[in-house]
Structure 1
């Protein structure tokens, strides 16, 4: 049997003897067993049959046991990905983005190009980014950009550490540098997802990264222990952008030259129907809401907003994705069940769902002319369907009045 100094290794038989109390109660021992497992069978016994990583590291996250497994030379890629994706339900979801977009994104990553997935809000870009990461890498980290981001959030920074009256400094790698280090430590491809990239000043945060993309020998960061970080081909960089208020042509030319720009926009009708049916079946049980009528409302709202089926694309109001409707279905299901706050007012619950989850997201990027169209759009829907959409219409009308006051009209 192995010891912590590596004098021996843990076989399947050894591990079975330790499984009851010592191995499941002692994290240090569990790490030692993973590091010194005799072979792949021993590691599979620990992870697949007894979930020893979940016992010590929790349902998700990168704890010491998972770290040891990911760094193990004896662990197969499938086992590494299993622990890297604990608690991530993305692996259970079907990818519904257009096949051309999926192939283009996979091809770009295979060619060593970073990828930007762009399109209107609610088209599933973040979910697809995760699926793309897991199809090409053993695991991923996800960071959401913000206006305060600088190049240090990408590359790394020096952070102060305070201990009573003393201060010291340590180097903290940024999200891309951290992905490079993990790819090396795990001996596998690793991905970093930068979500909502348009929230940040792209030129400011990506400056050093542009140089590294064109020169993979360029050192972009050095850790406290002297490890240098260069942009490695084993690191897949995947970004998402909401393009509701910007177009690709308005982006800095530097990013469009160095990144593969993949548009994620309209879903085919069959795919939308699959989504809507899945969400309604999942969330609407024991309510008085007609599921087929609600599905028809979702499809009608989505199609008219996006101008689908009209003679001209200009007949729509604005681009808007289907993913937002799951929040509406969940709200309706929760509020119209027995003892729910809208148990006796299911028609009103539908309107409140739209007022809470659809209309604010539309108004977030709508222009004055689009707000005008939204007023007409929801008034027509309110007349056409048996649901009470008046509250959603009132919110759009209120925003229109506020806009007119600001404009002095």
Structure 2
């Protein structure tokens, strides 16, 4: 390679391209010695040599060099650190949710996005992260999480036949270190934190939020890890089985609590239309519509309202809170099911019932109490009668089997 430090040009890169495609160390040298971002654009945007040498994801030596480069733009750094990220760019949550979350982050507050399942919390968290940071990490909570998973601690390391101990960083500490190492804004997303014991896992973090200079942990190299303004913290919380009032006051005092729930009738209908347009071919090979779009939209609307608002005829209230994003899975299933003659192309009405049986009913049953299960069955029996062109009996039957199982456990089942 022909150029000295700080003088590696795009022409040099084009001349050395065959070597650069084979030797990752040469790519690192080229990035380190690049005269301007044009060199990096050629190597990374055009030739995608980070993918060639580092793989589809992860931060290998080539991406690390880009992140440390003084001539790389924020957009280029974001590109390499989120390479192949499939987060949709269209923000679908209500405008006030978007504005409130953005404002809270800009004010330096960590954010909790809470609401029922299917309201788009995780997707919105990633969209916020991509707007506010160069990179992000997504971590899904489990019941076994402890403060060590958040902050870090001492863990064993087996070296040969010897057992040593070393400092292991938690997901928040790791995000802080990555932000410092690359001098970039970074976001850590803690997804579905209600799966874990929030008070237990967040104890040291609460202290650090109120006292930013409080050291969270020290690495084995003696590097102190402390919260700073370059790191955003976004949590998501499924509130299907609890309310904000039932949360530990410690989290509501320290986090901005952003509810992701109420979609207006207009915005919800726009979502449903988008899902159908994006995933379902409206005309079959024979030229006739596979589905009547207005009928499918009506089904989505009546199903959603029946679950979330209840039945006006019986004066029964909502079955439970349930978000509109679930219906994208229905649309995607119907699109695939009716694009293949070996699947449901000849019987799209059957595909509808199977889609609800596969995606909607199991998610409802997952958090349903006994009285709700019976109402779920009745709800889909009524929909099956109302929409003669669709066979929703499989959805109702699945709820019925769950109801019978519950009755057997309670000893009240009758054949």
User: TM-score, normalized by length of structure 2?
Assistant: 0.91
Local SS of the residue matching 1:229:
strand
Once residues 293 and 118 of structure 1 are traced to their aligned partners in structure 2, the CA distance between those partners, rounded to angstroms, is: 32
Question: Which SS does the other structure have where 2:98 is aligned?
Answer: helix
Residues 126-145 of structure 1 aligned to structure 2 (within 5 Å): 126-145=122-141
Select the residue among 289, 292, 297 that pairs with 1:290: 292
Asked if 1:393 is matched to 2:396, the reply is: yes
**1:317-363 deviations in Å (ceiling 9; x for gaps):** 21101111122222223233333333433222211111111001001
User: Aligned with 1:146: secondary structure?
Assistant: coil
* Corresponding position: 1:35 with 2:11: no
- 1:219 to partner: Cα distance: 0.8
Contact kept, 8 Å, 1:96 with 1:267, in 2: the verdict is no
Greater Cα offset, 192-201 or 102-111: 102-111
**2:266 is the alignment partner of 1:270:** yes
Determine if contact 2:304/2:322 at 8 Å carries over to the other structure. yes
Q: 1:313 to 1:151 in 2, by over 3 A?
A: farther
Give SS of 1:394's match: helix
Alpha-carbon offset, residue 310 of structure 1: 6.3
- Partner residue in 1 for 2:371: 369
Report how far residue 195 of structure 1 moved.
Answer: 0.5
Structure 1 residue 120 corresponds to structure 2 residue 116 = yes
Q: Is the 1:284–1:291 Cα contact (8 Å) retained in structure 2?
A: no
Q: Which residues of structure 2 form unaligned runs of 5+?
A: none
**Aligned-residue offset at 1:255:** 0.7
Alignment RMSD (CA, Å): 2.3
Q: 1:8 to 1:88 in 2, by over 3 A?
A: closer
* TM-score normalised to structure 1 length: 0.93
Q: Which residue of 2 aligns with 1:348?
A: 350
Which of 5, 9, 12 aligns to 1:11? It is 9
CA drift of 1:260 comes to 0.7
User: 1:22 aligns to what?
Assistant: 19
Summarize the Cα distance change of 1:308–1:54 in structure 2 as closer, same or farther, 3 Å threshold.
farther
CA distance 1:313–1:45, shift in 2 (3 Å): farther
Gaps of 5+ in 1: none
Mapping 1:3-402, distance limit 5 Å: 7-19=5-17, 21-90=18-87, 92-285=88-281, 286=284, 288-307=290-309, 315-385=317-387, 386-402=389-405
Residue 117 of structure 2 aligns to a residue whose secondary structure is coil
Assess if the C-alpha contact under 8 Å between 2:5 and 2:33 holds in 1: no
Task: Give 3-state SS (helix, strand or coil) of 1:33's partner.
Answer: helix
Deviation of the 1:305 alpha carbon: 1.2
Render the CA deviation track for 1:79-109: whole Å, top value 9, x for unaligned.
111222211121x431011111111111111
- 3-state SS in 2 of match to 1:322: coil
